[in-house]
A and B are shown apart, each in its own frame.
Chain A
Amino acid sequence: KNEVEQSPQNLTAQEGEFITINCSYSVGISALHWLQQHPGGGIVSLFMLSSGKKKHGRLIATINIQEKHSSLHITASHPRDSAVYICAVRPKGQGNLIFGKGTKLSVKP
């Protein structure tokens, strides 16, 4: 079992829909990251959070440390949001990131 599990693995949505991607992890962490990998391959860091909630534009990330769970929400989804969204955690006392396998999102016009 991977230390970082994401669901769903694949997600297809219609433009305008509200999207939720989930991430569960099994280790104690210092921080959790959400990354976006575009179809062209480039990776962008969206959020780093260790508690609560962060918002950037139409993207919202939440984390529940007690439940070892995080969600990434996209409001009013758009085809340009189509990408792979990757959850990664930094275990306590370590500098490395452990990655989930990603959620492939396709938003249809």
Chain B
Amino acid sequence: DTAVSQTPKYLVTQMGNDKSIKCEQNLGHDTMYWYKQDSKKFLKIMFSYNNKELIINETVPNRFSPKSPDKAHLNLHINSLELGDSAVYFCASSLSIGQPQHFGDGTRLSIL
């Protein structure tokens, strides 16, 4: 049973399109995160939700909109995709804020 699962694993799309990445955790955790890992493998927090409430929103273009329908899901929707959005996006969850995080396998987004 995968604890934190992301879909899709790979996403190749054209510039200007809108796409979504889904994340689900079956750990019963309250807190979920989205991270972006760039081509230099540098990880950076994008968003964090605690019990469906947005608690961290780093400097991310408003083309990125997270949605948490319930505390087991945190989806990431991206409008008007740009070349610079190409990266690996990781979802993670933790029991609560500050606890060890469990990561999904990542979604590799490639913009053509």
- Nearest Cβ on chain A to B83's Cβ, whole angstroms: 21
* Across-interface contacts of B92 in A (CB, < 8 A): 43
A25 at the binding interface (Cβ < 8 Å): no
Q: Is the CB of B101 within 8 A of A84?
A: no
Main secondary structure of the interface of B (DSSP, over half): strand
Q: Is the CB of A95 within 8 A of B55?
A: yes
- A86's nearest neighbour on chain B, judged by CB, is B43
- A99's nearest neighbour on chain B, judged by CB, is B43
In the complex, A31 Cα to B97 Cα: how many Å?
A: 11
Most chain B CB inside 10 Å of its own CB: which residue of A44, A86, A90, A96: A96
Q: Is the CB of A84 within 8 A of B48?
A: no
- A104's nearest neighbour on chain B, judged by CB, is B41
In the complex, A102 Cα to B38 Cα: how many Å?
A: 13
Per the 8 Å Cβ criterion, residues 62-78 of A in contact with B are none
Per the 8 Å Cβ criterion, residues 20-67 of A in contact with B are 30-31, 33, 35, 37, 41-45, 48
In the complex, A45 Cα to B103 Cα: how many Å?
A: 8
Q: Is the CB of B58 within 8 A of A96?
A: yes
* Across-interface contacts of B100 in A (CB, < 8 A): 33, 45, 48
Partner of A95, one of B56, B105, B108: B56
Q: Is the CB of B43 within 8 A of A95?
A: no
* Across-interface contacts of A35 in B (CB, < 8 A): 103
Per the 8 Å Cβ criterion, residues 50-104 of B in contact with A are 50, 55-56, 58, 88, 90, 92, 97-103
Partner of A31, one of B55, B98, B105: B98
In the complex, A33 Cα to B33 Cα: how many Å?
A: 15
Which 10 pairs show the lowest CB-CB distances between chains A and B? A43-B103, A95-B97, A99-B43, A96-B45, A45-B100, A48-B100, A96-B56, A41-B106, A42-B105, A101-B42
Residues of B within 8 A of A (CB): 31, 40-45, 48, 50, 55-56, 58, 88, 90, 92, 97-103, 105-106, 108
